[in-house]
Structure 1
Amino acid sequence: MKAEILSLCSVLQLSPKLYALEERDTIFPQKLWTEIRVLRSILGGRLLVLVDGQWQHLDSNTLKPQTPPTEQQQTLLLSDAVSNNPERYGRIVGREGEVYITSTGVELTLDWNTLKITQSGTDTKFIGLLYKIHYLQWLGNKQINTGLGIVGLLALSLLAYHGFILYTRRRREAS
C-alpha cells in the first residue's frame, strides 16, 4: 500500500536536470552489468550500472567507481535540479549532514549511486500522516491500533444500523 502512495508521488519526483549527450567513445558492457544508464548532468557525463541488484556510479573512462562528489558539486547538482521550480524549492541555503535544505523548507537528499533525489517537506509529512491514519497506524502499538480500528468499525456498523431503522420507520409512517 505504501508503494502505491510513493508511486503517486513519483510523478512529481525531483530528478537531476539532464542534458544532451556529447559524442563519445563506445562503452563496452561488462558481463556482470544487468543495466546501463549513460547520461549527462551539470557535472558532466555519468555512467550508472546495475551489478547484482546494486547500482554503481562508474567513471566512464576507466570503468572504476566514481569518487563521491564534493559538497560544492552536490550543491551544484541539486541547485540545477530545483531551478525548474523555484517557487516550490527556492534555493539551497544549508546542509545538515547528508540533507540539503532549501529556502522553502524542503529537505533534499542525493543518492550518488543512482543519481536520485529524495525530498521531504510539509506536503510529504501530511501524506505520511494520511497514510498512518488510513492504515490504522495511529500509535506505536499494533494491538491498540487494531483495537481502535475494531471499535471504529463497530461504531460505524451501529450508525449504519440505526440509520437503516430510522429509514424503515419513516417509510412505514409514510405509507
Structure 2
Amino acid sequence: MNIYILHRYLGYALILPVVLWALTGAFFLVKPGYKNAYEQLQIISYPLDSTLPLSPQVEWQTIAITRSILGSHYRIKIANKWQHINPLDNNIQPEPSSQNIINLLQDAIKHNPERYGSVLNYQAGVAWTDTKVKLMFDWSQLTLRQQGADSRFFNTMYDIHYLRWTGNKVFDQWFGYIGLGLLVLMALTGVVMVRKSIQKG
C-alpha cells in the first residue's frame, strides 16, 4: 500500500482516540476539584482514657487499640485479617447497629458538611449521604472511602484517556495496545513521508 494512503487511513482511524486523548490530557493538567473528589477520609480517633488488659493468643499477629465516638476498639490481626474482639473474653465483636455506624461515619465527615452533608442510611458496608456521596466502610479495618459525582466523573475521564471503553478488562487492554501501536505506525509513516519529501526537494 502507498505510504501516503496508509498514513491517511491511520489518521482517519485515530481521529477519535487522539482527540479524546488530547481533551482528557488537558483536563488532567488542570484537575478541577480533584482534591475533594479523592479526599482520603479517616475514622476520627480520640485519646484513650483507659484500656483493659488483654490475653494475647499465639495466632495473634498484631494488636491495635483505638477509640472513636463509639468507644474503644480492640482489634487483632489473624492470618493477615483484622477483627474486633471483646477484651473481656477475646470473642469476636460483631459490627454494631446501623445507627451506630451512621454516627461513626457522620463524625468522620463533619469537617466538610458542604460536600458530605448528612448520612442517610447504611447497609452492608455502604452508606449514602444527602449530597449523593457514597461512603464505603470496612468495620474490621476501620477504614473509610468516599465517592461523589465528581469522583465518578474523574474515573470516567481516566477510562476514556486509557481507552477503557467497554469495561471488559482483557479487550480494553488489547484495544489500548492496538491504539498505541497504530499511533506509533502513523508517526513512522509521517517520518518516512517527510524524508521522501526532503529527498525530492
AA paired with 2:94?
T
* Structure 1 residues 164 and 127: alpha-carbon distance in aligned structure 2, compared to 1, 3 A threshold: same
Rounded Cα–Cα distance in structure 2 between residues aligned with 1:146 and 1:77: 40
For the pair shown, the structure with the greater C-alpha radius of gyration is: 2
Aligned position for 1:138? 165
Q: Does structure 2 retain, via aligned residues, the 8 Å contact 1:37–1:47?
A: yes
Q: For structure 1, which segment, 69-78 or 86-95, has the greater mean C-alpha deviation from structure 2 after superposition?
A: 86-95
TM-score (norm 2): 0.66
Aligned position for 2:140? 113
AA paired with 1:60?
P
In the TM superposition, residue 87 of structure 1 has moved relative to its aligned partner by 2.6
Instruction: Please identify runs of 4+ aligned residues in structure 1 that moved more than 6 A.
Output: 169-174
Aligned pairs (5 A) from 1:72-91: 72-91=99-118
Pick the aligned partner of 1:27 from 51, 54, 67.
54
Q: Size of the alignment, in residue pairs? A: 165
In the TM superposition, residue 15 of structure 1 has moved relative to its aligned partner by 1.5
Q: For structure 1, which segment, 158-167 or 102-111, has the greater mean C-alpha deviation from structure 2 after superposition?
A: 158-167
* Structure 1 residues 73 and 141: alpha-carbon distance in aligned structure 2, compared to 1, 3 A threshold: closer
Higher relative contact order (CA 8 A, sep 6+): 2
Q: Does 1:126 align with 2:153?
A: yes
Q: Return the structure number with greater strand share.
A: 1
TM-score (norm 1): 0.75
Q: Could you tell me the percent identity over the aligned residues?
A: 35
Q: SS of the counterpart of 1:118? A: strand
* Structure 1 residues 100 and 20: alpha-carbon distance in aligned structure 2, compared to 1, 3 A threshold: same
Q: Does structure 2 retain, via aligned residues, the 8 Å contact 1:45–1:60?
A: no
Q: Does structure 1 retain, via aligned residues, the 8 Å contact 2:102–2:121?
A: no
Q: Return the structure number with greater helix share.
A: 2
Pick the aligned partner of 1:164 from 184, 191, 195.
191
Q: Deviations over 1:17-52 (max 9, x none)?
A: 100011234334222110111000000011110012
Q: SS of the counterpart of 1:33? A: coil
Q: Does structure 1 retain, via aligned residues, the 8 Å contact 2:98–2:122?
A: no
Q: SS of the counterpart of 1:63? A: coil
- In structure 2, runs of 5+ residues without a counterpart are 1-37
In the TM superposition, residue 131 of structure 1 has moved relative to its aligned partner by 4.7
